[in-house]
Amino acid sequence: MALRFLDGGHLLAFGRGAYATDAQHVSVEFVHPVIVGKRALPALDLSMAFSEWVKTIVRPEDIVMGFSPPEGDAAVDEALAFARLKGAQTFALPGRIGDYAVAPPDEDPFIQQELIEILYHTLWETVHVFFEHRELGREAGEASFLYPFLGSERQDMSRVVTEVARSIEEKAKDVEQLREKVADEESEQIVRAIHTLAEQIDRGGKLILFGNGGSATDANDWALDMTLPPKGMRPYPAVSLAMEPAILSALANDVGAEVIFLRQLIAQAGANDVVIAISTSGGSKNVLMTLAEARRSGLTTMALLGYDGGEIVRNGLADIPIVIRSDYIPRIQEAQASVYHIIREGLEELVKDA
């Protein structure tokens, strides 16, 4: 992937339904890295019309990722096969057709999606390591021993590959331990969230979800998990305020980015709705303003947070805050996915037993 990016390649990602949100997540992570100082890499989400889109824009130097449910997706397979025929590097996540084809890691679609998220997060995190050890065609002179990635000589990659492999294993262990920690610390809040959602939906309410960046893709994923659930689950009403690009760009351009969710909430919210913010920091101004408006309107509020919960917790803006106590964004997001999947499954079980 690093060599293809250096050769001018683009990352093209796609999927259908909830799996389109993985493509969105990949796109935003590579274009807008959360780690300060890392380069922006060209990536696009083609999910809206991927079968046709791939055929018109894929190039031999590109990287193509297709996301599918455990049972597979014939249209995704076909698009990957076409891209591979054109010389692109292909990832089937999961699937059978691809230069890197991952077998379905679990029959449960939620567990699979969580594991695949770890995979593409670690790809994003570690591809930058290879940038720093490959030639970039610039000379560093006498300082080359300090900045080997600036020199024109190709570096020995064997040691780097071993270190990266070890790092990926450590990252997977980190999120496993974090999920166990969340289960210990936040289980009561998760149960409260399940019961509250069941009560408000029974009263005619819906979920209103929102977040920025990677959290926006999680808001979209949660909304789709509610309205377009895996087979055997019943649908429930939910909307994501992050899924409206025309509205978001109009508000950001004409008024300001701080109101992109607030103005939508005012237009969308009903008396029995539950307003749910997803944020790793708990401090984004547009998230704080939207939750504050929801509280003023008497709506039930929840928040899925990282770090210590940030200003949302300190200002008491969420009736039910669920905090992933970590300071590393990719691991926070991976644990947050587990939490909202558990809430979704718990809601199903609660209604089934009623």
Strand partners, 9: none
E strands, 219-299, in order? 238-240, 274-278
Assess whether the previous peptide bond of 321 is cis (omega < 30° from 0): no
Looking at residue 131, its pLDDT comes to 79
Q: Report the half-sphere exposure of 343 (CA within 13 A, side-chain side).
A: 29
pLDDT in tens, the chain (354 residues): 999 999 999 999 999 999 999 999 999 999 998 766 788 999 999 999 999 999 999 999 999 999 999 999 999 999 999 999 999 999 999 998 899 999 999 999 999 999 999 999 999 988 988 877 764 444 444 544 444 444 445 556 677 888 889 989 999 999 999 999 999 999 999 999 999 999 999 999 999 999 999 999 999 999 999 999 999 999 999 999 999 999 999 999 999 999 999 999 999 999 999 999 999 999 999 999 999 999 999 999 999 999 999 999 999 999 999 999 999 999 999 999 999 999 999 999 987 776
Q: Looking at residue 151, what DSSP letter applies?
A: S
Looking at residue 42, its pLDDT comes to 96
CA–CA dist 288, 303 (Å, integer) = 10
Q: What are phi and psi of 109, to 5 degrees?
A: -65, -30
pTM (whole model) above 0.85: yes
CA–CA dist 332, 329 (Å, integer) = 5
β-strand pairing of 11-15 with 63-67:
parallel
CA–CA dist 294, 317 (Å, integer) = 9
Contact of 242 with 252, CB cutoff 8 Å? no
Element (H, E) at 245: helix 245-254
Q: Looking at residue 20, what DSSP letter applies?
A: H
Contact of 313 with 305, CB cutoff 8 Å? yes
CA–CA dist 70, 48 (Å, integer) = 21
Looking at residue 134, its pLDDT comes to 65
CA–CA dist 195, 190 (Å, integer) = 9
Q: What are phi and psi of 270, to 5 degrees?
A: -110, 170
Strand partners, 67: 15, 93
Contact of 8 with 96, CB cutoff 8 Å? no
